[in-house]
Amino acid sequence: MLQFSFWDILSNLLIATQWTLILSAIAFASGGIVGLVLLFMRTSRVAPLEWFTKSYIEFFQGTPLLMQLFLFFFGVALFGIEVSPLTAAWLALTLWTSAFLTEIWRGCVEAVPRGQWEASSSLALSYIEQMRHVILPQATRIAVAPTVGFSVQVIKGTALASIIGFVELTKAGTELNNATFRPFLVYSLVALIYFCLCFPLSWCAKKLESRLNVAH
């Protein structure tokens, strides 16, 4: 059995952490784009679009992320397409993220006081003009804190990609544990690294939220 020093373990974990960050970033970005599209569909007042979006959200919020990962990993393979764990994880995380972000953002639009709608409509602005000039600018300000907060969930979600074989931080931990038989040390380090990634973002989100509340 190879002898792994503390620094061997740590450096291996840190290398794998890059993949955690990469997957988190691309899933968050694509999830955000899909989420925006869903937001417009959800508020479009076109019944079939609204119904589809509601069902979509219900499914991705009401089933375990792990199940979604499995479905994507095995499901896509059914169509004969070879999909790598990274791709499957990225796809699953994108849709999962989009379902949560669109609901968060819809809440932010609804948090804009009704008086703003009344004042802008009294000034003869159309729905699109109201959204563009009055409502969305305010909704975006409200949305920054919870969106940053959700990025933490995405990072934690990437840990599940290890189960379908993607080598990120958690998978590296599992493999190192199998190689070194030092689970306490390995998983402590894994947890610590996740903490270092997530805590600053959580702290940021909290600060942003309290700053927003003070301003009102």
Partner 1 sequence: MSLISIRDIRKSYGPLEVLKGVSLEVEKGDVFAIIGRSGSGKSTLLRCINGLETFQSGVIVADGIEVGGARTDLRELRRQVGMVFQQFNLFPHLTAAENVTLAPAVVNKIGKRAARDLAAEMLAKVGLSDKMDSYPSQLSGGQQQRVAIARALAMRPKVLLCDEITSALDPELVNEVLRVVEQLAREGMTLMLVTHEMRFARDVGTSLVFMHHGKVHEQGTPKGLFAAPKTPELQQFIGSIS
Partner 2 sequence: MIYHLQLGDLLPYWRVLLDGLIFTVVLTVVSTIAGVAVGTAGASARTFGPVWVGRCVVVYVELIRNTPFIVQLFFIFFGLPALGLKLSETVAAFLAMTINLGAYSTEIIRAGIEAVPKGHVEAGMSLAMSKWEVLRHVVLKQAFRKIYPALSSQIIIVMLGSAVVSQISAEDLTYAANFIQSRTFRAFEVYLVAAVIYLLLAIAMRALLRGLGRVLFRSAA
Amino acid identity at 41: M
20 binds partner 1 (CB under 8 A): no
Amino acid identity at 105: W
Q: Report the distance separating Cα 31 and Cα 151, nearest Å.
A: 11
63 binds partner 2 (CB under 8 A): yes
Residue with tokens 């869903």: 38
User: Residues touching partner 1: how many (CB under 8 A)?
Assistant: 19
Q: Which is nearer to partner 2, 21 or 159 (CB)?
A: 159
Which of 157, 172, 176, 205 is the binder for partner 2 (CB under 8 A)?
157
Sequential DSSP letters for 27-76: HHHHHHHHHHHHHHHHTS--HHHHHHHHHHHHHHHHS-HHHHHHHHHHHH
Q: Report the distance separating Cα 52 and Cα 73, nearest Å.
A: 23
214 binds partner 2 (CB under 8 A): no
Nearest CA among 38, 163, 171 for reference residue 94:
38
Residue 62 binding partner per list partner 1, partner 2, none, with a CB distance cut-off of 5 to 8 Å that depends on partner kind: partner 2
Q: Which is nearer to partner 2, 52 or 70 (CB)?
A: 70
144 binds partner 2 (CB under 8 A): no
Residues at the interface with partner 2 (CB under 8 A): 58-59, 62-68, 70-71, 74-75, 78-80, 152, 156-157, 159-160, 162-163, 170, 173-174, 177, 182-184, 186-188, 190-191, 194-195, 198-199, 202
